[in-house]
Amino acid sequence: MAKVKIDSDLLARAKKMYEAAGYSSLEELVNHAVEKEIAKHETDEAEDKVSDQLRGLGYID
Amino acid sequence: MNQFITIVSGLPRSGTSLMMKMLEASGMDILTDNIRKADVDNPKGYYELEKVKKLKDDSSWLKDAQGKVFKMISMLLYELPPDNAYKIIFMQRDMAEMLASQNKMLKRRNQKPGAKNDREMTEMFEKHLGKIYEWIESQKEIDVLYVNYNNIINDPLKESKRVIRFLDSGLAIDGMVSAVDPSLYRNRCVENSD
């Protein structure tokens, strides 16, 4: 398991809330947050490249 | 008159123009402006409507689109205002065939592809489709029928029946079936291996 440093105040806030948010552990919260952010970035990248393709084909302005 | 608007959607080169041609031949009122003329990529015409590209700015014309059909590329579906009922015929096609056809068209238009190679473009399209399918399912004003282009070529009667059942209308099935011209099925992978 890799280790990542995060701000101590942020860690304290995360420790306080993870159970209330429905996570079984702090690790689960962190994994979910990182996964969600990556998925969002990948989706945005896909939409940009699809838009470029559609523009080249003349289907969008 | 039907109280819903019919839209033919999908990725470019997925068979949207073929479906428009089938619906026109079945007697359905189609909305097209013929601004984009037929060419070597779409010898039977594009059936496009320029104002769908500006739907975000002006959707007033949609009130006259009930009972009619127009074509709209999948990326633009997000712009549909939720105050109408829509039936979407969403065209699907083998991804390699679609990309081969798009690449030819990009070359003829002297344009660059959106991604560095077909593998990356396939991945981008699959992500886009996953997102749009999810979005469509979440829209209560939208009914969708997924129709596969390759299935139309193989069995136009069966697919035409599915479309007519979905639209719940008295469209002419004979016209719909006869509009399918297998000679236009030119972009099989094997033909594009060069």
Q: Is the pLDDT of residue B191 over 80?
A: no
* Contact: B124, A45; criterion CB under 8 Å: yes
Interface of B with A in 7-66 (CB under 8 A): 12, 36, 53
pLDDT digits (tens, 9 = 90+) for B34-83: 777 777 777 777 788 889 999 989 999 998 999 999 999 999 999 999 99
- 134-193 of B, contacting A, C-beta below 8 A: none
- With a pLDDT cut of 90, the percent of chain B lying above it is 74
Asked if B131 and A51 come within 8 Å (Cβ–Cβ), the reply is no
ipTM of the complex: 0.80
Alpha carbon separation from B187 to B76, B102, B123, B127, B138 (Å, rounded) = 25, 10, 20, 23, 33
CATH number assigned to the domain with residue range B5-93+141-179, chosen from the 4 options 3.40.50, 3.30.1490, 1.10.8, 1.10.150: 3.40.50
Closest-CA distance, A29 to chain B, in angstroms, reads: 24
φ, ψ at B88 (rounded to 5°): -105, 125
